[in-house]
Amino acid sequence: MSNSSTKKCLVLDLDNTLWGGVIGEDGISGIKLGLTPPGSWFLAFQQAIRDLYDRGIILAIASKNNYEDAIEAIEKHPNMILKKNNFSAMRINWNDKAENIREMARELNIGPDSMVFLDDNPAERLMVSGAIPEVTVPEMPKESKDYASFLINLPYFEKNTITDEDKMRGSMYVTERLRKTEEENYKTKDEYLKALGTQGLFYVNDKGALARLAQLTEKTNQFNSNKMPLNEDEILVLMNNNNARVVHISASDKFGDYGIIGLAIIKIIT
């Protein structure tokens, strides 16, 4: 089991994890997911997962099931809180779960060490932790009534400040998959980029974006020329300085909103 503290992605089993019972055997009307125990325990667990999604945690599915049966339950069960569009990647098949998780890590462009895998089956947990030790695989509670409190108390998803971009992250991965599919319909990259209809908006000294702007200064990629993290108070001081301008850009295209993607701090020399 990996012990790295902050995680980006929660990978979930389905049967006896997101709902009680086995969808392939019990059918959509037979699985336990409702307002009374034991169905209410799985409902509470799904709500705790949804709360993580709303905080920007990526959700994925790794389940040994018939795809059609599982998707029908996800999309049509009246008490299902989590729907297909909440999951950025899905592997619902009879393949090895470790290989499915590796594939999803590549698809999402994240490292396995940023993933947490939850499965009620001890054999599946052992197999994944043995095959991909970078993935964090906690021991699930024996009783489903404890699932929600167990998830809430996991230390891997703590975050001090939640920005709009964090909340959008799960849907961003979904729309990115749509973009890649769309690209296959064009002969050249230029044609594809023109068809996206990407638009950018510039903002100057926008105090409403302080949390996200501070987050951008913490990035360590090659596009961060400053390499000096700034907190919200330090950025606010720059906004209030007559000899400086804090400029940021947000972008969107026909598939959705990218949020705030760029930041420039301009010093005015007189």
CATH number of the domain residue 53 falls in: 3.40.50.1000
The predicted structure's pLDDT at residue 1: 46
From 157, 183, 205, the end of a domain falls on 157
Indicate if 130 and 196 belong to the same structural domain: no
The predicted structure's pLDDT at residue 162: 64
From 131, 157, 183, the end of a domain falls on 157
Indicate if 111 and 241 belong to the same structural domain: no
For residue 64 the two structure tokens come to 């040994």
- In a domain, residue 104? The reply is yes
The predicted structure's pLDDT at residue 257: 82
Indicate if 120 and 38 belong to the same structural domain: yes
Question: Quick one: how far is CA 90 from the chain centroid?
Answer: 12
Distance (Å) of CA 256 to CA 57, 175, 233: 18, 7, 31
- In a domain, residue 179? The reply is yes
The predicted structure's pLDDT at residue 223: 56
The predicted structure's pLDDT at residue 4: 46
SS3 186: coil
From 97, 132, 157, the end of a domain falls on 157
pLDDT tens across the length of the chain (270 residues) = 444 468 999 999 999 999 999 999 999 999 999 999 999 999 999 999 998 998 889 999 999 999 999 999 999 999 999 999 999 999 999 999 999 999 999 999 899 999 999 999 999 999 999 999 999 999 999 999 999 999 999 999 866 566 666 666 666 766 777 788 888 899 899 999 999 999 999 999 999 888 889 888 887 555 556 667 899 999 999 999 999 999 999 998 888 888 888 999 999 987
Indicate if 27 and 113 belong to the same structural domain: yes
Indicate if 174 and 87 belong to the same structural domain: no
The predicted structure's pLDDT at residue 88: 93
Indicate if 178 and 150 belong to the same structural domain: no
Indicate if 19 and 123 belong to the same structural domain: yes
Indicate if 27 and 76 belong to the same structural domain: yes
The predicted structure's pLDDT at residue 54: 85
Indicate if 14 and 86 belong to the same structural domain: yes
Digit-coded pLDDT (tens) for 199-208: 999 999 999 8
- In a domain, residue 263? The reply is yes
Digit-coded pLDDT (tens) for 83-130: 999 999 999 999 999 999 999 999 998 999 999 999 999 999 999 999
Q: Which of 11, 7, 1, 174 is nearest to 100 (CA)?
A: 11
- In a domain, residue 181? The reply is yes
Rounded to whole angstroms, the Cα distance separating 40 from 15 reads: 15
- Which range marks the domain in which residue 97 is found? 9-157
The predicted structure's pLDDT at residue 3: 43
The predicted structure's pLDDT at residue 2: 44
Indicate if 78 and 197 belong to the same structural domain: no
Indicate if 229 and 211 belong to the same structural domain: yes
DSSP string over 73-119: HHHH-TT--S-GGG-SEEEEESS-HHHHHHHHHHHHT--GGGEEEE-
CA atoms within 13 A on the CB side of 42: 21
The total domain count for the chain is 2
Q: Which residues pair with 260 in a beta bridge?
A: 250
Rounded to whole angstroms, the Cα distance separating 220 from 110 reads: 15
Residues 6+ apart with CB under 8 A from 43: 33, 34, 35, 79, 81
